[in-house]
């Protein structure tokens, strides 16, 4: 907890939530993207349409899902469709305005690795994989990315291309026939980044309160570029903080309850 009364992770989640609008149709990733999207829904964007990969449309979970298969998503959705329909009609049909993704590794052009760390055939670590993220990255009208900064995560060259961002930069997407915008926003626990209009390299446009340029560079694996006019991210409001904390508290309580029930069930069996 900082002297300002909130954690870097809370600042990241709230800054990410502010980027969303009520008329967005958002394809939501599990984890930090899910928290940001639901804070937006519970505060300034009550009409936002949240879609999860399992086929739930217009879902309004009371607690954050553990996975895309969490029953909470289906229980609170306007409707649930099949996964093929979700991808072919909704995503590839151009109906998703924002794809909200996380990353294990990220480079300066917004390319994402969630597949493997190290050599693919002999990896140091196998990650969960792409799931629907590769399709989300190319078919959503634009992509927002959120992740905590570290030199291990923000690297000069990712070990595996799971989800295509801006490739080698410039017009790489266009040259490949991809006509969506790709990554347009990166929100970390230290700063807000946007791609340079020409090179597409992520550039810091806003520092979170109390964060220095040196701190951003220390936790990034490439040479960071800063905007000529660097802003400071507004601190979280009491409503934003309370909404996020209440959501996390409900989630923790629900998941602890599930764990206790499962344990009791195994003993009874």
Question: Strand 105-106 and strand 112-113: pairing?
Answer: antiparallel
**Active-site residue flag, 53:** yes
Round to whole Å and give the CA distance between 195 and 241. Answer: 28
b/e map 161-194, b = 16+ CB within 10 Å: ebbbbbbebeebbeeeebebebbbbbbbbbbbbe
Round to whole Å and give the CA distance between 151 and 269. Answer: 47
Of 53, 135, 201, 240, catalytic:
53
Q: Which of the residues are catalytic?
A: 53
């Amino acid at each position: 907890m900082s002297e300002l009364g909130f954690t870097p992770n809370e600042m990241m989640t709230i800054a990410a939530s502010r980027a969303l609008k009520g008329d967005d149709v958002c394809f939501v990733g599990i984890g930090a993207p899910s928290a940001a999207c639901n804070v937006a829904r519970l505060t300034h964007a009550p009409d936002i349409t949240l879609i999860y990969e399992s086929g739930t449309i217009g879902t309004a979970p009371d607690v954050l899902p553990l996975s895309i298969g969490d029953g909470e998503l289906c229980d609170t959705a306007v409707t649930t469709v099949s996964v093929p329909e979700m991808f072919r009609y909704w995503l590839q049909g151009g109906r998703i305005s924002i794809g909200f993704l996380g990353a294990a590794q990220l480079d300066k052009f917004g390319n994402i690795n969630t597949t493997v760390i190290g050599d693919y055939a002999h990896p140091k670590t196998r990650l969960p994989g792409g799931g629907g993220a590769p399709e989300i990255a190319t078919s959503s009208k634009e992509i927002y990315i959120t992740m905590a900064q570290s030199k291990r995560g923000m690297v000069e060259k990712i070990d595996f291309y799971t989800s295509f961002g801006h490739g080698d930069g410039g017009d790489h997407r266009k040259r490949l026939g991809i006509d969506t915008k790709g990554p347009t926003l990166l929100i970390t626990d230290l700063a807000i980044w946007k791609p340079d209009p020409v090179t597409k390299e992520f550039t810091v446009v806003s520092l979170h309160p109390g964060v220095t340029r040196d701190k951003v560079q220390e936790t990034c694996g490439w040479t960071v570029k800063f905007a000529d006019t660097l802003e400071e991210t507004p601190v979280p409001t009491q409503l934003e903080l309370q909404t996020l904390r209440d959501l996390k508290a409900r989630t923790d309580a629900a998941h602890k309850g599930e764990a206790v029930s499962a344990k009791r069930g195994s003993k009874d069996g």
